[in-house]
């Protein structure tokens, strides 16, 4: 159940305007809760990209970031099925386009920076949410650090997407 403004005030919840309170009884395990939260993260990315695409269209630009891969990512995360090579390539290509847009417009427009949590990408690369949640905090930190280093290399153009995918799969396996 999503609470509207009146219900939120009636329940005396002090939520900021951009937060969402959801009451659900169907999610029973921590895996299911994490998966649901990650689907919201992906939908937030779709929303921001939609705003970017509207803006570029209004500026008569042919530039467009494809959101279709993010809907595929939601399905993949829910089913805990990794992306194949072509979907991984498309996902990181669209991520790179998003970050390029954000970098190029920083300071010119007020755009919320959305970061897809690494654990979503770990699932897309082949790690199950159960396996990720079973890691110790120290192991999660090490995994995030290793992945983050090569992710930055790919984003700034020091590594091709295909090479990044190969290395990332080795890190999460």
If we measure between CA atoms, which residue out of 148, 115, 106 comes closest to residue 48?
Answer: 115
Q: Say yes or no to pLDDT of 107 above 80.
A: no
More confident residue, 3 or 20: 20
Quote the pLDDT of residue 26.
Answer: 66
Identify the band that residue 89 occupies on the pLDDT scale cut at 50, 70 and 90.
very high
pLDDT of res. 36: 83
CB 126 within 8 A of CB 137: no
pTM greater than the 0.95 cutoff: no
What's the pLDDT score for residue 3? 42
- CA distance readout (Å), 70 to 49, 56, 74, 90, 107: 10, 19, 6, 10, 26
Looking at per-residue confidence, does 15 or 127 come out higher? 127
């Amino acid at each position: 159940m999503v609470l509207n403004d009146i219900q939120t005030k009636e329940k005396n919840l002090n939520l900021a305007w951009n937060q969402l309170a959801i009451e659900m009884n169907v999610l029973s395990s921590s895996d299911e809760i994490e998966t649901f939260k990650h689907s919201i993260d992906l939908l937030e990315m779709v929303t921001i990209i939609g705003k970017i695409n509207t803006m570029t269209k209004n500026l008569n630009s042919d530039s467009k970031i494809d959101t279709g891969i993010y809907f595929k990512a939601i399905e993949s995360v829910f089913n805990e099925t990794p992306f194949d090579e072509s979907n991984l390539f498309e996902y990181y290509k669209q991520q790179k386009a998003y970050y390029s847009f954000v970098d190029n417009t920083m300071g010119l427009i007020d755009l919320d920076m959305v970061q897809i949590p690494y654990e979503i990408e770990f699932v897309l690369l082949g790690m199950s949410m159960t396996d990720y949640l079973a890691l110790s905090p120290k192991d999660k930190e090490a995994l995030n650090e290793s992945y983050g280093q090569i992710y930055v290399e790919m984003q700034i153009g020091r590594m091709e997407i295909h090479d990044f995918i190969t290395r990332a799969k080795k890190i999460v396996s």
